[in-house]
Amino acid sequence: MNIKSKLAGIIINVSSFVIITGYGYTLYPSGIHNWMYSYKETDSLNLPVSQYEALNDSILTMRNLKNGYGFDHDNGQFAYLGTQTSIACDTCSYTWFKNNTQTYNQNYIKLNAWGIKKELPYKFYVKNKQGYVRKAVPVKNSDSKFNIVDVPVKFRYNTMDDAILIPVSADGASLFDTGWLILWGLNMIGLLFLLYLFIRFSYDTSKGRLFTRKNVTRLKLIAVSVTVYPLSIILLNLLVRFVFRQYFSPEVVLKDMVWYNAYIVLLIGIVLSLLYGAYNRAQLLQEEQDLTV
């Protein structure tokens, strides 16, 4: 190992120690965990970019390992649900991982629809196998002052994806994956059927057979499916929240993204429903016209 590597290693280790233990940081009152404040504090260190990036990466990696989502591997996602396998290790370092093959796998059910309220940029950490969420609590008799407190929580949190993780056993994850696969398969069959309906609808329309009973039925099925789909996704995630309610705390919220995506699809569904109404009326008029002698 050359001197540069040694130096970089020392800097990384010392910086990690400083940041993780909180030495040199007295930003918050005692009793509040301030030791995980921000790796961006390393801005003050005058380092070349490459070393600075390496430093940030290594600290992030160590923090991810401690928080239980180190080197995470997603096993797919549908309806904001999926599983994740990660390495959870409270005592491992980045260097240790570079030199060892032993892993500490931890399986999670990943709830991508659920995230933590956006109150502070760094808001979750694990210490002594206990998860904490940072929270701003208003000071009594004051509208503008807040106390920053860390609240213990049962769930884990993927900071990168802003997703709640429910720790489960390997069997639990496997069972969830099976159910998830069935749900995904049914969804794919449904989507393919809708695609088939749409192709037939488009073909008939291109051939001038616009206002036929078949076309109206197809449009009705498409409109109902598109309208019901986003609602069923939200309902499914609410059901998941109910199932895992013991892991949830008031800090966990349904992400804005879920509502936004649902609104868009719902809007398309409403437009299609209106179109169905028009087609239904047009089909009756067409039938009347066809049977007028």
Strand partners, 116: 252
CB of 161 to other proteins, least distance (A): 60
CB of 218 to other proteins, least distance (A): 24
- Sign of dihedral through CA atoms 192, 195, 197, 203? negative
In whole angstroms, give the CA distance from residue 221 to residue 186.
Answer: 16
* Near other proteins by CB under 8 A: residue from 43, 90, 256, 287: 287
Identity of the residue, 100 or 292, whose beta carbon is nearer to other proteins in the bound complex: 292
Identity of the residue, 39 or 211, whose beta carbon is nearer to other proteins in the bound complex: 211
Residue 128 as a binder of other proteins (CB under 8 A): the answer is no
CB of 285 to other proteins, least distance (A): 11
CB of 210 to other proteins, least distance (A): 19
Residues 6+ away with beta carbon under 8 Å from 287: none
> Which range binds other proteins by CB under 8 A, 38-46, 103-111, 166-174, 283-291?
283-291
Residue 292 as a binder of other proteins (CB under 8 A): the answer is yes
Identity of the residue, 53 or 287, whose beta carbon is nearer to other proteins in the bound complex: 287
What string marks each residue from 232 to 271 as x (binds other proteins by CB under 8 A) or -? ----------------------------------------
Q: What are phi and psi of 104, to 5 degrees?
A: -120, 85
Identity of the residue, 1 or 293, whose beta carbon is nearer to other proteins in the bound complex: 293
* Near other proteins by CB under 8 A: residue from 1, 3, 49, 293: 293
In whole angstroms, give the CA distance from residue 224 to residue 235.
Answer: 16
CB of 192 to other proteins, least distance (A): 38
Count CB atoms within 10 A of the CB of residue 195: 11
Residues 6+ away with beta carbon under 8 Å from 181: none
DSSP 134-174: EEEEEPTT-SS-EEEEEEEESSEEETTTTEEEEEE-HHHHH
CB of 293 to other proteins, least distance (A): 5
Tokens 């056993």 belong to residue: 169
Residue 281 as a binder of other proteins (CB under 8 A): the answer is no
CB of 234 to other proteins, least distance (A): 44
> Which range binds other proteins by CB under 8 A, 89-97, 199-207, 273-281, 285-293?
285-293
In whole angstroms, give the CA distance from residue 171 to residue 168.
Answer: 8
Instruction: Name the residue type at position 152.
Output: P
Q: What angle do CA 86, 41, 35 make, to 5 degrees?
A: 60
In whole angstroms, give the CA distance from residue 135 to residue 20.
Answer: 19
Q: Please report, as ranges, the residues that interact with other proteins according to CB under 8 A.
A: 287-288, 291-293
